[in-house]
Structure 1
Amino acid sequence: MGDSYVTFLVLGIVLVVVDGQLIYRSGKGYLKRAAYDDEQVGGMMKLTAVLFHLVVLGLLALVSIIEINTGDPVKNVVVKLGVVLLLLALAHGVTMAILARIRDRQMQQQLADQMAEEHRIYEERHAHVGEPRPAPKIESPYSAP
């Protein structure tokens, strides 16, 4: 019992740490393409990686105390690792969805800023500096001909 428990925990922790590092490294490159600066990307990815590790290590701890009795300690470890892998995949997918949402918001903000700047430049080019613009004529349906 003791050896299989320790084996499960060691393998589970290794899987969580490896996946967390993959998320951290690939997430940095993913967010950099959305024109975040290195400091912003680093900070966001550190927070994301810490949250990922805490959640998945917590799930690993919960799975570790579940009693599974297949009659073979090796099979018990394999079953528990299967559950951990499924939970790890779920957590990985959720983390990537969060990063995609952050990136999409940044790209939308960039597009809005770019459009506002282009509009400002257009207005400057077409405005007659110093000349008041005439008010538009509005004809009333009640005015006499």
Structure 2
Amino acid sequence: MTTNAYLSFLAIGVALVLIDGQIIYRSGRRYLENSYGDPAAGASMTRLVTVLFHLATLGVLALISTIDMGDSDLPGVVGRIGVLLLILALAHAITLGVLARIRGEQEVEAVVQRGPRPRVEAEQQGTTVTPVPGQDGRYPAASPSLENRSPYTAP
């Protein structure tokens, strides 16, 4: 592969990695800021994950550039770009999984900090349903069967 083809592949590869990294950063920041956690913490976690994404994919790009894929320039560049795109898709999916896990942990932490919601007892609410004829109590457990218009009985 000639120097021009090599530099073309590196330029295209770096551009693809940077564009994908910026998409991850901007979308991930909004994704984590909209969770129940702290927006500043979400932004910093997104930044850390994005830096890891950039370092890993640029390292893979450097390794792919050294692999021999054909004698002519165009098939070699296209083959390398294809391999890079597949690896970028895999890295993108892994990064999305990491961001989803961080968001889940933030939501759990927010629920733990907020504490459980106070339970409203049924007696405080009053009657919510009218008892069906044949069923005892204020809160019937089941509706009557439609076939014979009698109270439903469970086995």
- TM-score by length of structure 1 reads 0.76
Could you report, residue by residue, the CA deviation over 1:32-88 in whole angstroms, capped at 9, with x for unpaired residues? 12123332122111111110000000000000000111x431111000000000000
1:127 is matched with: none
Read off the aligned partner of 2:28 and give its amino acid letter. Answer: G
Q: Distance in 2 between the 1:57 and 1:67 partners?
A: 18
Read off the aligned partner of 1:80 and give its amino acid letter. Answer: R
Q: Which has the higher contact order (CA 8 A, sep 6+)?
A: 1
2:62 is matched with: 61
- TM-score by length of structure 2 reads 0.71
Q: Distance in 2 between the 1:49 and 1:75 partners?
A: 31
1:91 is matched with: 91
Higher helix share: 1
Runs of 4+ with deviation above 3 angstroms: 112-119
1:43 is matched with: 44
Q: Distance in 2 between the 1:17 and 1:85 partners?
A: 13
Give identity over the alignment, percent.
Answer: 41
Q: Distance in 2 between the 1:22 and 1:35 partners?
A: 22
Count of residues in Structure 1 that have an aligned counterpart in Structure 2: 120
Q: Distance in 2 between the 1:46 and 1:36 partners?
A: 16
2:80 is matched with: 80
5 Å-filtered alignment, 1:19-34, equals 19-34=20-35
1:109 is matched with: 109
